[in-house]
Amino acid sequence: MRQETRRLTDAGALRALAHPVRQEIYEHIVLRGALTATELGDLLDETPANCSWHLRKLAEHGFVEPAEGGKGRQRPWQATSRGLSWGGAEDDDETRRTGTAMTRMMVDRERTRLDHALERLRTDDPVWDEAANVNQSLLWLTADELAEINETLKEIATRSLDRHDDPSLRPPGSRLCAFLAWAVPTYDVIEPTPDDDAPHAD
């Protein structure tokens, strides 16, 4: 049984994943199930040898593991978790820096995906154009309220994970959709002051 979400607290593991090809390999295996180096090579337009090398690097840090059947480049590999998370107040400086770099890389990948989707939606079925959305807000929140919003977003983003493993759970007409969200304090519009964190009298 795969972990639901693996929390990354080691800078070495984060560095191992901070490679474009490895991120694509990991994403394909999570979404499609066990894949061989040869199959990944076809999907990514990479050589099987290159994919095999990246798979071994991912395995060294526990992101993937061998699945049953096959040998060498025909051996299938499976993900050890359905998702990943990183970043926290308890991280040391190196892990924090590496995690920040990973976050920026992830956002860049998703921005490219968004650009592609915005172009395709123009000619797609209008029902999908209507359903898709990009939203932005600036809100005054306490730290507890911000944490509550992030927990709600996490619950929404993970409620359909079983559909990755079991295609029979996917409703007719469903598509793979990208969901990216962040809720963070702003530091560029109004700089916080010590008074902002002080309790206010009624």
The pairing of strands 81-86 and 3-8 is parallel
Tell me the pLDDT band of 1, cut-offs 50, 70 and 90. very low
Burial code of 11-38, b = ≥16 C-beta within 10 A, e = fewer? bebbebbbeeebbbbbebbbeeebbbbb
- Cα separation, 75 vs 41, in Å, equals 13
- In 3D space, the residue among 37, 4, 5 whose CA is nearest the CA of residue 21 turns out to be 37
Q: What domains can you pick out in the chain, each with its CATH number?
A: 3-131 (1.10.10.10), 135-202 (no CATH)
Q: Residue 196: what pLDDT?
A: 61
Bigger pLDDT: 140 vs 2 = 140
- Cα separation, 20 vs 22, in Å, equals 6
Bigger pLDDT: 12 vs 201 = 12
Q: Residue 73: what pLDDT?
A: 74
Q: Residue 130: what pLDDT?
A: 96
Chain segment 73-115, per-residue pLDDT in tens: 788 999 999 889 998 888 999 999 999 999 999 999 999 999 9
Question: What pTM, to 2 d.p., does this model score?
Answer: 0.84
Distance between alpha carbon 64 and the CA centroid of its chain, in Å?
15
Distances (CA, A) of 170 to 18, 124, 162, 163, 164: 31, 21, 9, 6, 8
